Amino acid sequence: MPSQHLAARAAEESAAAQRAEHLAAEHEGQAGEQQHHLEAPVTPGGALAAEAYDVLSRAGGWTQRAREEAERQVAAERHAVSTRRVLDRIEQSAQKGRIALRLAGTSRKETAALTAQYQQQYLAAVDEAQRASRASAHALRQGWQALTGYQHASLLMQGGALIPPRDVPAMETVLEAMQQRVPVLAARLDTRIAEDIQQLRESCGAQRTVAARHRANVVAMQQEHTLREEMQAAAPLRHAREADERATAVQGRQVQTPPGQATRAPSPSPRHPAPTEPRAQLPRP
């Protein structure tokens, strides 16, 4: 290889070594940062679990309020039915004659007063049942919004489907299932970060090996260049003849190489294994 080609090749090898060393340092830094997260008092999985439990707690509070209002609705509806029965009996008694009312120990005036009293109770019970129904539905919606507003809600849902619950029992079933998935999801996140760290470290080692190979090539080429200089100083005529022979050989190979084919194999370029990102469904730390 002519001296000018040798110098160019040494420069290419040196640049390739620098690129590999840069990638190794970058991967080493990323691995160290991830390791720091795993060794923190609260790991990324632990932080995710704490956030998820807070969301579930707020949703659970709304669900409890929805249940209480639903119970009030049921109680009010029962009271309305009971009051309606009494009111029906009073209205039937009012249809009787004056003599029958006296025999029963009541008068038309007392009957009217009882009718008004129970009518008021009946209407109040109906109003309370309607109010409680609206309040329960509102609390249920608020609880669902608290869940769906969480950025990782789909990860906690079975199958990832966000389907609004029909009633309070359905909402409680959803919350229970999500509670059970939180520790699983947290452990999975920490595991995948550990896998990323391992891959980054393996990539770092591979890039350092590549860099070392390129550095060794540079040293060999520098030694060759030094040897040629020594030979030139010791026997300049012989060195010039050998240089001409090498140049002629290179020109001959270039002439014999068919058009469109490379005259020289490309220098090895460092691989850059990309670290595996945590799966799309998991958050980054």
Per the model's pLDDT, the better-predicted residue between 257 and 16 turns out to be 16
Q: How does pLDDT run across 3-25, given as a tens digit for each residue?
A: 667 778 888 989 999 999 999 99
Model pLDDT, residue 247 = 67
Model pLDDT, residue 4 = 66
Contact 216, 13 (CB under 8 A): no
Of the spans 112-121, 211-220, 232-241, 248-257, which averages the highest pLDDT?
Answer: 211-220
Residues 6+ apart with CB under 8 A from 128: 72, 73, 76, 79
pLDDT over 90 (residue 109): no
Mean pLDDT value across the chain: 81
- The whole-angstrom separation of Cα 229 and Cα 240 is 11
Model pLDDT, residue 253 = 60
The closest alpha carbon to 37, from 48, 26, 51, 25, belongs to 48
Mean pLDDT of 102-129: 78
Mean pLDDT of 251-268: 48
pLDDT over 90 (residue 120): yes
Mean pLDDT of 256-266: 44
C-alpha distances (whole Å) from 254 to each of 6, 75, 243 are 17, 98, 17
Per the model's pLDDT, the better-predicted residue between 49 and 278 turns out to be 49
Model pLDDT, residue 165 = 87
Q: How does pLDDT run across 145-179, given as a tens digit for each residue?
A: 999 889 888 888 866 567 888 899 999 999 999 99
The closest alpha carbon to 2, from 253, 201, 180, 189, belongs to 253
- The whole-angstrom separation of Cα 162 and Cα 156 is 10
